[in-house]
Amino acid sequence: MASPKKNKKNKKKSARQNKQPTTTPKKNKSNSINKPVNKSGKKNNLIFLAISCFILAAITFYVYQGALDNDFVDWDDYAYVIDNNLVRADSDIKTITSIKNNNINPINATTGNYNTTIGDVFQRIVSLNYHPLTVLTMRWNNNVCLECSNGISAHPFIFWNIILHILNSILVLLLIFWMTKRNILSAIVVASVFALHPMHVESVAWVSERKDVLYTFFFLGGLLTYCKYLSTSHKKWLLMTFILMALSCLSKAMAVVFPVVMILIYFWNEQSKNNFSALKNTVKISSLVHTIPFFGVALFFGLIAVNVQSGGDFGGMLVKSSSSVAINSFDTFSIIQRFQFACYGFIEYLIRFFLPTELCTFYPYPDQPTYDNSMYFKLAPFIVLTILGLTIASIKYTKSIAVGIGFYMVTIVLVLQFISVGAVLMADRYTYIPYIGFTFIFVMLVQEFIKKNLQVPSYLCMIALCLTLIPKTIDQIETWQDSETLWTNVIDLHKVNGNLLQQNMEQPLSIRGNYYGKKSEKSKTNEERIKYINMAFEDFTMAAQLGSKRPDVYEGIGNTYGMKGHNFQSQGQKEKAYDFFQKAIENYNKALTLNPQKGSAYFNRAVTYSILRNHTKAIEDYTNAMKYAPEQSPSALVNRGISYKQIGQKNKAIADFQKALQYNPDHKLARDFLIELTRN
């Protein structure tokens, strides 16, 4: 029995001895030839990657440098920055207002001390959105510019938007570099489209869209750390991904789709015998367990977004800054119409990827006759379903189309207006992240299905096409120069045979009219002032003729009548002035009928009553103005104090002037009246 055992042992030893010589040379060969080549190739790849990042950054900055001369626009910038004491110190806002009213002289151009805290930034809702991290970064860009029309320069805000856009472009390059297994030309193509596409100008050149470039920075950073986690399985990368996703959600609620994109990346990384097996493995519970905390965060921030856009305060946890709502009533459109609008947007964004023409800030919902006569809206759902069907079928041959379309759809689905928010059907800024997925499809199809000797020329052609976008992008940046340029572009693009489209241009007309009204207040000559008053009046009245039901339109008409009344009053034409003041009140009445909580309309009507010496009604309106628009309190208190003085209610007048001086101790008018009243 011993002999067989010995023979068996000898056989094993012999087998090891025979096997060793064949293995050793291969190992030596690998060490002597393959490994050095891999190191060298990797080093060259990294050098090329670094050079590509630098060139991409330089070109992007060159293209966007024109935006640095742009001003704030009357499209959320007042709510986010100019009138927002989370961003600007109260003293700065009051100082600029006082300078314009010739109440005090400027001393220096340094920013004052904040009356709000970082805690306020994380607690307060701004313009029906909760994005405290965005507001915080804007706070860092605060400045005082006495030469600027609003006492603050847009330059630092836009500069950092551009820097974030450049960083985002580099992150796109790195993400695609990983996803394409170090194909640097593929990464350059996708990053170039992201950096230079005209549809992305809105996200960069518009101050208020800091939230877009900021949330994208954390979003893409999170995807990169998640890719690292999938490559290494180290939990620290998953933790970093979680932190970056939370920061992205704190910058903009759109980031709540992050966990679904994680699943797409997981599917892309899944190595199985075929793509359907990879899909099956991806949706296993064991594969999705690590995403559960991410979905929890997404649900939390999603609930906040829906609540605050509906006018809520998230159960008292947050502080509202407005009584209005952003989400339209569900009865505004039927479910079928909503689905058609969503599909229309899905297709239009894809069309504008290839043909970025007639871009503007405002893509209104169609009026009823246009909708009824359009086959486009009716056919859109069938086109989208066909695209999705072909995408699913393509999984048999490649993951690329499914991942690309999936990325596009997941990142844009929340803004396809199935849940109607605001007054626009589409917006250029909504394509900022989604176009990454769509571009990814093309570079991967080249990598997978084009012969190797034709791949480099194909990528170079794509890069050349990206560069042809530059002139259009520069032109689009110019449209954001100021409010007049922006809204004139919108209005001109929506003219048919020289006439404006019905109803859907009322808001742009109202916004431009408001801009002209502000310009009239800042005019240096009476001639210039009258010119802007007439331009504002023309825009507001045209909006009213279009059947507008916006209170801003009628408040604007009231303001222009009031300005004209002041002009006639200064010329001694009292009867004409009286007639214009009465017309102003009629329009304020209409505005308040449409919105009984419009504080600015109460204030303006109160001023008109004061001029007409109807102080009882003026006092009532000033009180309502402070109730519905607390930011009007400093001016309303002074004016109400004057009205109280005029009707002999001395103690109430003193109380109002004292409160007004608490807001602004340097208010000359309030101080002078208080001295006069306390002496007697």
Structural domains in the chain plus CATH codes: 156-478 (no CATH), 505-590 (1.25.40.10), 597-680 (1.25.40.10)
pLDDT above 90: residue 7: no
Residue 245: pLDDT band with limits 50, 70, 90: very high
Cβ-based burial of 54 (10 A; exposed 0-12, middle 13-18, buried ≥19): exposed
Q: For residues 606 and 643, what is the distance between their CA atoms, to the nearest angstrom?
A: 10
Pair of tokens at residue 543: 């909006």
For 410-490, where are the E strands, in sequence order? 424-426
pLDDT at 39: 67
pLDDT at 140: 94
Residue 225 and residue 241 in contact, taking contact as beta carbons nearer than 8 Å: yes
Give pairs for 209-212: CB < 8 Å, separation 24+.
Answer: 209/161, 209/429, 210/80, 210/134, 210/137, 210/138, 210/157, 210/160, 210/161, 210/164, 211/129, 211/131, 211/134, 211/251, 211/252, 212/252, 212/429, 212/432
Q: Residue 367 gets which letter from DSSP? A: P
Provide CB contacts within 8 A for 347, sequence distance 6+: 380, 383, 384
Question: Could you report the per-residue pLDDT of 94-111, keeping only the tens digit for each?
Answer: 665 544 444 444 434 456
Give the β-pairing of 424-426 and 363-364: antiparallel
Residue 370: pLDDT band with limits 50, 70, 90: confident
Question: Collapsing DSSP states into helix, strand and coil, what is residue 124?
Answer: strand
Q: Among the listed ranges 80-84, 348-352, 464-468, which one has the minimum average pLDDT value?
A: 80-84
Question: At residue 490, what is the residue type?
Answer: V
Provide CB contacts within 8 A for 174, sequence distance 6+: 49, 187, 224
Question: Collapsing DSSP states into helix, strand and coil, what is residue 424?
Answer: strand
Task: Find the Cα–Cα–Cα–Cα dihedral 97, 99, 103, 108, rounded to 10°.
Answer: 120
User: Between vectors from CA 589 to CA 583 and to CA 593, what angle results, nearest 5°?
Assistant: 150
Rounded alpha-carbon distances, angstroms, from residue 411 to 213, 270, 403, 464, 571: 14, 21, 12, 27, 59
Q: For residues 29 and 372, what is the distance between their CA atoms, to the nearest angstrom?
A: 73
Rounded alpha-carbon distances, angstroms, from residue 640 to 598, 635, 679: 18, 9, 20
Q: What is the mean pLDDT of the chain?
A: 87
Residue 322: pLDDT band with limits 50, 70, 90: low
Residue 159 and residue 201 in contact, taking contact as beta carbons nearer than 8 Å: no
